[in-house]
Amino acid sequence: MTHLNGRNSVNLYRFAGQSNFIRHTMTRYQHLAMLLEKRIAQGLYRNGERLPSVRSLSAEHGVSISTVQQAYYLLEQKQLIIPQSRSGYYVAPHKAMPPIPALTRPVQRPVEITQWDAVFDLLNSRLEDDILQLGSGMPDLTQSTLKPLWKAFSRQAQKQESTLLNYDNLYGVTCLREQIARLMIDSGCQLSHEDIVITTGCHEALSVSVRAVCQPGDIIAVESPSFHGIMQTLRGFGIRAIEIPTDAVTGISLEALELAFDQWPIKAVVVVPNCNNPLGFIMPEKRKRALLALAQRFDAAIIEDDVYGELAWEYPRPSSIKSMDEDGRVLLCSSFSKTLAPGLRVGWVAPGRYRDRVLHMKYIGTGSTATQPQHAVAEFIHQGHYQTHLRRMRQVYQHNYETFICWVRHYFPCGICVTRPQGGFLMWIELPEAFDAVQLNNTLRESGIQIAVGSLFSASGKYRNCLRLNYALPASDKVERALAITGSAVEQAIAACVHDRPRAHTSLPVVEEQGQKEEGTGPGPAIPAGHL
């Protein structure tokens, strides 16, 4: 196993797909190394295949022999290629892509949600500056395409209009609702501003939707695993959850859901069909229609969480279930927390037939939503900056995923399963059944690393052997080192499980910024803790 106590022991296993974002100061040999690395990652050069000679690459790219030799040396340092005496360079053997997790198998009966302490601990970790949040649901806030949003806030402040400091109506600012209605055309929805209610983030949209369709003691069907926020919402309102098996590629099992409808008086189904949290799948359109038909047959509501839908890598973006709804039973919930910034606290719901109930639930909850952020976001969208930002973030997150999956393949042991997200910025890793991700997290925290343990995403505490990672974090030496430390801890814990011995406490290195001393200096400047 790779020794991780010093920075030099961590291989800089970069994926070259991020060429659009590489600094202009990159040298010629680094550019060439990046190109070759990309070809290896894409399978153009296979395991064990001989690479072009130094002279042929020199002629092909118009660079010196020395430049090619430096590029090959860099790839050799990354353990991507192996030199053979008098024979040249060959692609180094590497691990195969981990398989996709199988269909989940939760306990298919209504349960009261009891978990809260673990969720609260994860929320509190955001306040710790020295913790690197590998498991948060925080988007990348470093991109230059957000600058016009700052300017929009500045212009709003310069106006000094009293309306920006006053209450707005329960529906929310009209100009923002008009912009959202236009945005949702891409998802197939034909909405007017009168169909939309602005909320304080998507979490409130989900909360008012649940209260609009259910009473305490009712039963709601949820995907398994499912967003922990919706679990806590159900817990807070005394609503029981029945977890439905969910496939990491096609989504919630409609067959299992139908059986649940036959056995229990289910009032609603909560789904994240596009860029699912935490599995990352996009539910096929045929299955979306079948889910809607099932809800119609049993007269149940569908609460659709579309907060990651606009971050799908495919274009045009996938359709929403709401776009297929003809009788108003789908409550479509979303926000700008994942596409722009969670601190805006601007979300929305298209509640259909439940509009009056949703408005009442919002009134007795938060009342109207803060006015100035609504106007700033509306201006940002109206001026065309939102679509520009979305295009950038889709590209960034897809490249980040390719980088992270390379790191996971490189640093994590065999015997794991990893999802293949189709958008968003979340990755789900399934470890052997006996694995304890809670203990892993406790160990990693001593090294300044926080993951999201799988049991947070279950009403019954399942998925203790799973974890969620966030690849919105800008790729850096610090993030790579954190994944290397995590992979090492996973390997040690799995070995302890296999040999059926008590897990000894593992002392792991602290994640450091480049330029710090190897040991004895403590953690480096923290990346800001994220919204979950």
Confidence of residue 467 (pLDDT cuts 50, 70, 90): very high
Domain-embedded: residue 191: no
* 15 and 403 Cβ atoms separated by less than 8 Å: yes
Domain-embedded: residue 174: no
92-102 pLDDT tens trace? 877 677 899 99
**Is there a single domain that holds both residue 406 and residue 452?**
yes
Return the pLDDT at 483.
96
Return the pLDDT at 43.
76
**Is there a single domain that holds both residue 323 and residue 222?**
yes
Q: Where are the alpha helices (DSSP H) in 383-507?
A: 385-411, 437-445, 477-498
The domain in which residue 492 lies consists of 117-139+388-498
What is the mean predicted confidence (pLDDT) over 367-385? 96
Return the pLDDT at 44.
84
Q: Which residues pair with 231 in a beta bridge?
A: none
Better pLDDT: 332 or 368: 332
Return the pLDDT at 254.
98
**Is there a single domain that holds both residue 270 and residue 395?**
no
- Check pLDDT > 50 for residue 473: yes
19-23, 280-284, 310-314, 331-335: which range is least confident on average? 19-23
**Is there a single domain that holds both residue 313 and residue 460?**
no
Domains held by the chain: number: 3
What is the mean predicted confidence (pLDDT) over 15-29? 50
User: Which CATH number does the domain housing residue 87 bear?
Assistant: 1.10.10.10
226-240, 242-256, 284-298: which range is least confident on average? 226-240
* 255 and 402 Cβ atoms separated by less than 8 Å: no
Q: Answer with the one of 91, 125, 160 that is the final residue of a domain.
A: 91
Return the pLDDT at 46.
83
- Check pLDDT > 80 for residue 361: yes
5-14, 235-244, 388-397, 503-512: which range is least confident on average? 5-14
- pTM, to two decimals: 0.81
Share of residues in the chain with pLDDT > 70 (%): 86
Return the pLDDT at 527.
29
Domain-embedded: residue 38: yes
Domain-embedded: residue 45: yes
Q: What is the dihedral of CA 124, 125, 130, 131, to 10 degrees?
A: -170
Return the pLDDT at 378.
98
What is the mean predicted confidence (pLDDT) over 397-424? 92
Exposure letters 37-75 (e unless 16+ CB within 10 A, then b):
bbebbeeebeeeeebbebeebbeebebeeebbebbbebb
- Check pLDDT > 70 for residue 210: yes
Domain-embedded: residue 99: no
Q: Answer with the one of 310, 335, 366 that is the final residue of a domain.
A: 366
What is the mean predicted confidence (pLDDT) over 367-384? 96
Confidence of residue 516 (pLDDT cuts 50, 70, 90): very low
* CA–CA gap between residue 177 and residue 170 (Å, rounded): 12
* CA distances to 28, 73, 78, 125 from 66, in Å: 10, 10, 19, 48
Better pLDDT: 233 or 125: 233
**Is there a single domain that holds both residue 351 and residue 403?**
no
Q: At a CB cut-off of 8 Å and minimum separation 6, what does 31 contact?
A: none
- Check pLDDT > 80 for residue 57: yes
**Is there a single domain that holds both residue 200 and residue 318?**
yes
**Is there a single domain that holds both residue 81 and residue 123?**
no
Nearest to 362 by CA among 176, 169, 195: 169
Confidence of residue 508 (pLDDT cuts 50, 70, 90): low
Instruction: Determine the 3-state secondary structure of 501 from DSSP.
Output: coil
The tokens for 383 are 């001026």
Confidence of residue 358 (pLDDT cuts 50, 70, 90): very high
Return the pLDDT at 290.
99
Confidence of residue 127 (pLDDT cuts 50, 70, 90): low
**Is there a single domain that holds both residue 342 and residue 215?**
yes
Q: At a CB cut-off of 8 Å and minimum separation 6, what does 71 contact?
A: 29, 30, 32, 33, 36, 57
* 470 and 135 Cβ atoms separated by less than 8 Å: yes
Return the pLDDT at 521.
34
**Is there a single domain that holds both residue 264 and residue 411?**
no
The tokens for 250 are 């096609």
Strand locations in 300-432 (E):
301-305, 330-335, 347-350, 417-418, 426-430
What is the mean predicted confidence (pLDDT) over 218-225? 98
- Check pLDDT > 70 for residue 446: yes
Q: Answer with the one of 334, 366, 398 that is the final residue of a domain.
A: 366
* CA–CA gap between residue 102 and residue 104 (Å, rounded): 6
153-175 pLDDT tens trace? 999 889 888 888 899 899 999 99
**Is there a single domain that holds both residue 225 and residue 337?**
yes
Rounded to a whole number of angstroms, the distance between the first and last alpha carbons of the chain is 32
Domain-embedded: residue 16: yes
Share of residues in the chain with pLDDT > 90 (%): 69
Domain-embedded: residue 61: yes
What is the mean predicted confidence (pLDDT) over 434-458? 94
Return the pLDDT at 488.
95
Confidence of residue 499 (pLDDT cuts 50, 70, 90): low
User: Which CATH number does the domain housing residue 331 bear?
Assistant: 3.40.640.10
**Is there a single domain that holds both residue 252 and residue 347?**
yes
- Check pLDDT > 90 for residue 475: no
- Check pLDDT > 90 for residue 128: no
Nearest to 371 by CA among 174, 147, 185, 97: 174
User: Which CATH number does the domain housing residue 128 bear?
Assistant: 3.90.1150.10
- Check pLDDT > 80 for residue 518: no
- Check pLDDT > 80 for residue 40: yes
Return the pLDDT at 94.
72
67-120 pLDDT tens trace? 999 999 888 877 788 888 778 999 887 767 789 999 999 988 999 887 767 776
Return the pLDDT at 25.
45
Confidence of residue 45 (pLDDT cuts 50, 70, 90): confident
Mean pLDDT, the chain, whole residue set: 87
Q: At a CB cut-off of 8 Å and minimum separation 6, what does 315 contact?
A: none
* 79 and 11 Cβ atoms separated by less than 8 Å: yes
Domain-embedded: residue 102: no
Q: Which residues pair with 116 in a beta bridge?
A: none
**Is there a single domain that holds both residue 339 and residue 397?**
no
What is the mean predicted confidence (pLDDT) over 181-201? 98
